[in-house]
Structures are given as structure tokens and as C-alpha cells.
Homo-oligomer: A and B are copies of this chain.
Amino acid sequence: VTLAELAPLIGGELIGDGSVEIRRVAPVDPPGALQAGDITLAESEQFFEKAHASNASAIVVSFEPPASAKPLIRVKKTTLALAKMLSIFHSVEKLAAGVHPTAFVGRDVTLGNGVHVGPNAVVKDGASIGDRSIVHAGAVVGERVFLGADCVIHSNATLYRDIRLGDRVIVHSGSVIGSDGFGYVLDGKTRVKIPQVGTVIVEDDVEIGANVAIDRSTLGATVIRRGTKIDNLVQIAHGVIVGRRVLFAAQVGVAGSTTIEDDVVLAGQVGVAGHLRIGKGVVATAQTGIPNSVDAGTMISGYPAIPNRDWLKASAIFRQLPALKKRVAELEERLSELEAKR
């Protein structure tokens, strides 16, 4: 690809010689690894100097660049340019359409155009798989599951029966969608299982990491709305509704029937209790424990969760508690002395 071809593909403006050929995108660190044919990225002048001194053939910049001996592409956001260039230079291997001879596909299954079902994968009766979707080795797609177009179900992932995924949904290996919710009722001393007869609906453009668990609802549906991204080892209980463009970092857990509104961000290992409403745009820092509903737009921390600013201040004093206790004891002593003398 020449620079002149690349610039419009990444939404950037070419500065300098457009005929330079680019074969690879590579990070500016370590600069010694950069070679002729590489394009690298500089978010600031500091990185620009490193990039300019390296053997890279061109640089993507997101600021007003100084005079440069190398050709440049100027963009608004280097990370977005990186994402686009990685798609261009590292194209995903094209898997041959068709069902691998070792896979098992049941009765009444609908396979769209260009669908790939990998070795030892299983697609059960009545499932429907949209155009160009991929079911990798050892993955199991349950009875009557509906998969949209351009989905990727990675190896050894499991989709239980009767659930529905939209278009461009990615499910990484080991993840389980549609397992039974954790619901029991006591009959004397015996716990009776409440049959979990609901479903899971995953909308378009959702990505689900590795070894995630998303339970089906008791009745109705557990829902993950469009554009939401879920990292590895996350737990989503039955009846949870997750809004649009939500981010769950790794090891987050959300208990049953809680609603997470659009654009919420939960950092790693955050836990959310059941039957709550987490308002639009709430951000919870890592390991936050959320026992109550949270108003939209709040940034929270701690366990139990409080506003992040309060938590930062209180946490700073927490470690000084021994000193604070000593000060109180000293005050008591001084005051007693004073009282005695009065």
C-alpha cells in the first residue's frame, strides 16, 4: 500500500511523498525494531522525535507536526488510525465456507451463505446461522439458536438452546451463554430448582470475552444491547438487562434482575447486587461493590460504593487511622488535665 492510498483509508491527510510503500504498522517502542516499510504512530512531540529518528518510512501524527524528513499522515486520533491500519495490514484469515467433515450439524438447521463450521463443532437441530458467520472448532450451538450474520463463535464456546444473537457478535472461547439462572425455592429444608425457561438476547456488535457466563432468564430474557463489550470471566446473572455501549472489564459480576443503563463502565472485578438500576453513564472503578441503585452520570468507588471523590479522600485517611486514634487519645488526656486544673 502506498501512503497516498493509505491516507484516505484511515481518514487522514497526507503530508509529503505519497509514493512511499508501507508494508507494516509497528509501535514506536522500541524504536530499534522499526524498519523501512514500517509506518509508526506519534501522539506527542516526544514520540515524534523517537519515530523520526527511527528507520520507519512514515509516521501518523495527531498534532501539528514539526518539519519532517519523513512523510506523514495527520489524523484526529492515532488509536483510531491504528485500529484501521491493523485491519488493513493484518487481515483475518479467510476460512473456507462449509461444514467440516468432523463437525455435526443437526436437522432443520439453516446455514447462510459463506458460513464456516469448524472441526468437531456441533450445531443442533433447528439452529439458524447467518451469512458469513463462523462456528469454530469444538463450539456448540444449541437447539433453535438464532445467530445473525458475520458472527464469530470461537472454539469451545457454548450457546445453550433457544437464544438469539444479532449481527457481528463475537463470542470468545470457553464462554457460555444461556446456562440456567441461579434460582431455587425452599420446600421445607429442600431447595427446589426453579426451571429457567427464559432466554438470552444479545444484540448487534456485542463482543464477549473468554470464559464469560451469561445465564438465561427465569421468564422473559437476559438482554445485552448493541455495541456493548464484555471482557473475560464476567458473570451476568439471569434477568439482567445491559444497555448499549456498556463496557464490562474482566471479572465483573452482575447479580440477577439488575438493569445496567447505556454507556455504563464497570472496571475490573466490580460486583453489582441484584434488582438494582445503574444509571446511564455510571463509571465504577476497579473492585467497587455496588449494593444499591446508582444515579446516572455518577463515578463511584469502594465497598459499599460511594462517590469516587469521597472515596479517594476517605481512603487517604483510612491509612492514617492509627495516627488519628492516637490524636483523639491525646486530646482526651490533655482535656482531662485541663478539667482537673479548672
Contact = CB atoms under 8 A, between A and B. Distances in A.
Given A229-B182, A318-B321, A138 B156 contact: yes
Given A140-B155, A321-B313, A335-B335, A193 B83 contact: yes
A174 interface: yes
A231 interface: yes
Contacts of A184: 229, 247
B322 A194 contact: no
Nearest to A207: B193
A67 interface: no
Given A140-B137, A213-B233, A271 B271 contact: no
A133 interface: no
Contact of A176 (B27, B174, B195, B339): B174
Contacts of A297: none
Interface string A107-150: 00000000000111010100000000000111010110000000
A325 to B, nearest CB: 5
Number of copies: 3
B122 A211 contact: no
A27 B180 CA distance: 18
A304 B80 CA distance: 32
Contacts of A104: 100, 102, 119-120, 137
Contacts of A160: 154-155, 173
Given A155-B158, A331-B331, A215 B232 contact: yes
A341 B338 CA distance: 11
A28 B138 CA distance: 40
Interface of A: 26-27, 77, 79-80, 82-84, 86-87, 90, 92-93, 100, 102, 104, 118-120, 122, 124, 136-138, 140, 142-143, 154-158, 160-161, 170, 172-176, 179-180, 182, 184-187, 189-195, 197, 207, 209-213, 215, 218-220, 227, 229, 231-233, 235, 237, 245, 247, 249-251, 253, 255, 268-269, 271, 273, 286-287, 289, 291, 302-304, 306, 310-311, 313-315, 317-322, 324-325, 327-328, 331-332, 334-335, 338-339, 341-342
